[in-house]
Chains A and B, each alone.
Chain A
Amino acid sequence: MIDFNGKMAVSARDLTYRFDKITALDNISLDVPSGIIMGLIGPDGVGKSTLLSLITGSRALQNSGTLQVLGGDMRDKSHRNNVCPKIAYMPQGLGKNLYFTLTVEENLQFFARLFGHDAAERRRRIDRLTRSTGLYPFLDRPAGKLSGGMKQKLGLCCALIHDPDLLVLDEPTTGVDPLARRQFWDLIDNIRAEQPQMSVMVATAYMDEAQRFQWLVAMDEGKILTTGTPEEILTRTGKKDLDAAFIQLLPESKRSGHRDIELPPLDADEKDISIEAEGLTKRFGSFTAVDHVSFRIRRGEIFGFLGSNGCGKTTTMRMLTGLLPATEGEARLFGKPISGDTMEVRKNLGYMTQLFSLYNELTVRQNLKLYARLYGIPEADVKSKVEAMIARFELNNVADTLPKDLPLGIKQRLSLAAAVIHDPQILILDEPTSGVDPVARDSFWELIIELSRRDKVTIFITTHFMNEAERCDRISLMHAGKSLACDSPAELVAKRQAPTLESAFISCLEEAEAARNTGTSPEPEAEKIILPEPEKSESHAAKTNHFFSFQRFYSCFWRENLELLRDPIRLTLALFGALLLMVVMGFGISMDVEDLSFAVLDNDHSQLSNNYALNIAGSRYFIEKPPVKDYADIDRRMRNGELSMVVELPPDFGKMLERGESPEIGVWVDGSMPSRAETINGYIEAMHNQWLEKLRKESGHETSGDVDIEVRYRYNPDVRSLPAMVPAVIPVLLMMIPAILAALAVVREKEMGSIINLYVTPLTRLEFLLGKQMPYVLFSMLSALFLVAMAVALFDVPIKGSLPLLLISLALYCMVSTGFGLLASSVTRSQIAVIFLTMLATILPATQLCGLINPVDTQSGLARLIGEIYPTTHMLLISRGIFNKALNISDLQAPFIMLVVTIPVIITLGTVLQKKQED
């Protein structure tokens, strides 16, 4: 091993890391000198990414082993806090740490703010970085609309904005075209020339890239195979290139099946055409994605499709598979045009997308079985076919594992198995080898060649690897929707008089680019001076407050705000949704019971009994239905819900009354809805008494024993439901909607991967959560204002108390409800689960346990406990107090204090439960 300068950037001792069943790192000891560019090479799933994430501190260490990074222990929290701003991390995956709805400028501003630069400094840094990476002309473009190569450059800019001492890049060029890749590495070289003291660690699957690094670490199965300079490794293995050297380094067992790829000559009938495209064109609005592309592919041919990111390769494939209709031109499979019913065509087609369309919730065998059945393989043959595939694609060991636990190379084999299980005659493969290691790629190609030459399957494949392109019978070079050239690889190299296919390709691209934009190139050449002088930020880093920095909080707030504003549909839905719900609930929830249907069973038929029935029918509460005949009739008509009440007047009702006796009137009430039955009981009682009194007065009887009961309904004298309901609906709505918005905001970052920014930047959990929460608090307050305005204007419910006090309380309450969402988000990982959890945790308590309809103190047990502490209860008291009772702060002290106290409790809980490192 060469000693570079004695200082170590990373030093690991006996480091072990396990996932459930898999050991990702197996007792690793490693010293990485500082100030060099180090390459980490090895097959997929051997622990490269795990090692890098441990080094950056984004993943928490497990119990065994020690890890020193930049001179401190990564177990030590304060060291992690200190060292975090000095490490920059670009995780695997195109733009995983970027925010796609934000522009290039906004992404950079966000990261620059996190690291505490002031406005002028930020401007200077952003301008310099983007000028030198060629992103400057695209500052206003949303990150999601950048090509793959540009996304990676932006990721790099974001990583470099704070002059890190250690730059960690995890497969930064996977899925990036050769031209963009070359530009990317030139950029890294320039940066290193500027800042020689910076250490760079790169994981890569491209061996030609590894050649550029000063020092290599080769890994396999969680262990380190060897370390050294590329030259040392080549000498040691006696191979000419690193691809071969790496294969040589693998243990005998892994290497055994591997041999150099040979492509037997194609024996094809020129007239037997499988795939044919003629002037195929696709336009999206004014943008032409594919521009008059034509080709003819013979049966059994391997046809390669090469081109820069976003040049229309995938669109072409989607048209060939029938997923997208062509705007112009025609594609034919086996001479049949792809249009209308493509069912027969699809049966002969195998398709494998970049994403490996596997179901992660099904095991390998279950996935294969599902595809076999969906392709219509007879049930009797399914089992044997699946087993044959498992054997052929060497999936025996993993047949009962879930794909998400598998390394990329194996996933890809499984995907191919699923795509060919029905013996298709055409196989369409969209970048099937992106991010896959050399050994796995070679064995994949063996399968492809076997399918082509032995089974005569026509193969249409896109790739970024030049050594793969060389294995194709013919390749088509695509750029900006046009096919530039189409020939066999050897012919193409010869035509352009280039040394390799890659340089032929790049020269072809550059020529096309120049022809297209006469003058301004979209990705201009890098300027020489790259980075701002580092001394300024050193002083910043020293001052960094580890607990709470307003600027970092503001950065988070500002970013979330932008993102929220970019999804106007969500905002509109949330805002008008709340208003709509208020109308619905305000008018809908009513305790007033009217228009009740009733009927009489009159066994007397006297004048008095008639009069009794008329008295009921005359009130606005009841509607009389045809009289009932007998008890069976009562039973039938109450059972089918026709009658809510039946009044039975006994025989001789009139006579008994006249004699001064007390006849018994029977009343049947439909008790299926208890609250309504209760109301009916009350009504009939009152009407009965009224009728008796009227009777006595008419007959001149003495009216003694009587009392005049005056009921005064306070705060709501007309006893309308609306004035009591509307002030209560506001807190209920302001609980549910803000909670779900805030919860999804956090969990969405978890699903999309940008949560990594919390793990690897100096951002603290509290800053992160408050920053995410604040935009939703503001938004909820806006919606609170609308709700209050609507209560007054539309529902005519006046605010009797102080409006400012109401608004202050609502603001506090919005903090509570969004905090609730953050709390729910801290314990869930998937968006579905968090939606479900938040709805369960808000709808039931807010509508039923908090006094909306029944006061909390009438409940018992768990319901009472929840009701007592649930914040909606307190806001309900305040809201009704101010709206209906004109109360002031001294009357509302208790609920107000509860509200104020709940905020820190909820936010603290949410912060503590949220993780700062992955585990």
Chain B
Amino acid sequence: MKNKFSQSLRNIFYLGVKELLGLWRDPMMLILILYSFTIGIYVGAKAQPDSLTKASIAIVDEDRSQLTNRICDSFMPPMFLKPQIIERPEIDSGMDKGKYTFVVVFPTNFEKDILKGETPEVQINVDATRMAQAFTGAGYIQTIISQEISKFAHKNGIPDAQAQIVKRNRFNPNLTQSWFSAAVQLINNISMLAIILTGAALIRERECGTLEHLLVLPLRSFEIMVSKIWAMALVVLATAGISQLVVIEWIMGVPAEGSRLLFMTGLAMYLFAVTSLGIFLACIAQNMPQLGILLILVLLPMEMLSGGSTPLESMPPLIQKVMQISPTTQFVSFSQALLYRGAGIDVVWKEMLALFAIGSVLFWYSWLRFKRSVA
């Protein structure tokens, strides 16, 4: 009995070593893996600008007073590009062409009305198709205008607004976007690579006919499947670990709060789940093109709805519930708590447990499919 067990372990080990050697001899794949965990992460993380940068703004100033001038001057880089002063008729065409994301209109007698204690009207036109920039930018502009006016009013002897609000952003004081995007990018690449590597390794072995030969050897389908899982998971674990330490923490200088060991443990559990998923997809797909499309169909929703790119709580409740069974959602939540907020095992044990449970189910189901597909 013990003998059987050790032979089984040996089979799993050496079949896995074979997978690693195979990958090692495929230079194109090595280059792509290297790219995705270095330049790919860097470009992806730096792509998203910090919340509001270089917003294009135009101002229609019909008042041309000291106050409106001061407001104009307070729209400064890096948040805003230098405001363009335009006339009212230019608003529509400028916004249509996407030249300006924001157009602020000051009416005539604006300053006078303020001094008189009346409430003049400022209009902010926002190009709402510009998504993130539109929504945050409008808030900023309102705040800037109010602040300038109250400063101006204060100087002119009008009582100040009461109660100040002091905001502190925890975990990322300057809301640097790349701190956030780096981890998102890392997780996306981990998912993509883990699924492609295991799925394609299985399909390739089937297309080459070597899989059939393995089944004639004294091997169990379980051993064949596990060997692929451990080998590919190890590759991703190692490259992702190095990428986190070297590219993200060292080169990009993103601080990681939580324990690295804990992160790697969680990552290993995540890889257990997604590599099993890769095997499952390879059992469904009949050829590589089908696998290619399946990959997109599975990966994209898993990534986009994981809470990594947009907050989970703003999705419809049904989607939120369904996405809880996606390993990516659990892993994103785990990583955010650990990397950004420095949470410990006392917090993330729930996600780890969920990952393990999802992984086990995926593994078990993939194994059933795999056994059936080779019989």
Contacts and interface: CB of A to CB of B under 8 A. Distances in A.
A670 B296 contact: no
A543 B215 CA distance: 56
Contact of A674 (B29, B51, B208, B219): B51
12 contacts: A347-B218, A374-B14, A567-B290, A573-B297, A678-B175, A705-B154, A709-B142, A711-B138, A832-B196, A836-B29, A836-B193, A853-B132
Interface in A308-366: 321-323, 325, 343-344, 346-347, 349, 351, 353, 355, 357-362, 366
B128 A361 contact: no
Given A375-B218, A704-B158, A587 B119 contact: no
B373 interface: no
Given A672-B180, A724-B130, 19 more contacts: A570-B289, A591-B132, A591-B314, A593-B314, A639-B337, A639-B341, A639-B343, A664-B163, A669-B169, A684-B165, A702-B159, A704-B158, A705-B161, A713-B134, A714-B127, A719-B134, A719-B135, A830-B28, A891-B97
A269 interface: no
Contacts of A588: 301, 304-305, 310, 315, 319
A855 interface: yes
B128 A343 contact: no
B101 interface: yes
Contacts of A596: 313
Interface string B143-176: 1011001101110001111111111111111011
- Range class of the A interface residue count: 35 or more
Interface of B: 7, 10-11, 14-15, 18, 21-22, 24-26, 28-29, 32, 35-36, 40, 43-44, 46-56, 93, 95-98, 101, 114, 117, 119-136, 138-140, 142-143, 145-146, 149-150, 152-154, 158-173, 175-177, 179-180, 188, 192-193, 196, 200, 204, 208-210, 212-220, 286-297, 299-301, 304-305, 309-311, 313-316, 319, 333, 336-337, 340-343, 347, 375
A715 B103 CA distance: 14
Contacts of B299: 839
A709 B210 contact: no
Given A711-B138, A713-B128, A828-B28, A670 B171 contact: yes
Contacts of A402: 25
A74 to B, nearest CB: 30
Contacts of B22: 359, 361-362
A707 B167 contact: no
Contact of B300 (A584, A591, A593, A854): A584
Contacts of B173: 671
For A344, A839, A847, A862, the residue with the greatest tally of chain B CB atoms inside 10 Å of its CB is A839
Contact of A712 (B125, B133, B135, B218): B125
A71 to B, nearest CB: 41
Given A567-B289, A711-B138, A744-B292, A662 B162 contact: yes
A376 B96 contact: no
Contact of A860 (B36, B49, B168, B293): B49
Contact of B208 (A355, A574, A669): A355
B313 A594 contact: yes
Contacts of B26: 361, 830, 833
* Interface class of chain B by DSSP: helix
Interface string A365-398: 0100111011110010000000000000000000
Interface in A702-749: 702-717, 719, 721, 723-725, 727-728, 736-737, 740-741, 744-745, 748
A374 B219 contact: yes
B230 to A, nearest CB: 16
Interface stretch (A6-14, A184-192, A880-888): A880-888
Contacts of A748: 288-289
Given A672-B180, A677-B175, A840-B35, A858 B133 contact: yes
A678 B212 contact: no
A782 B51 CA distance: 37
Nearest to A318: B212
Interface in A78-97: none
A632 interface: no
Contacts of B343: 639-641
The 9 lowest CB-CB distance pairs between A and B, nearest first, are A682-B139, A705-B153, A357-B213, A672-B340, A671-B169, A716-B128, A671-B172, A361-B22, A704-B117
Given A707-B120, A852-B131, A359 B210 contact: yes
Contact of B7 (A376, A719, A836): A376
Contacts of A662: 160, 162-164
A844 B216 contact: no
Interface string A636-674: 001111000000000001000100111111111111111
A701 B117 CA distance: 12
B10 A373 contact: yes
A347 B219 CA distance: 9
A839 B101 CA distance: 31
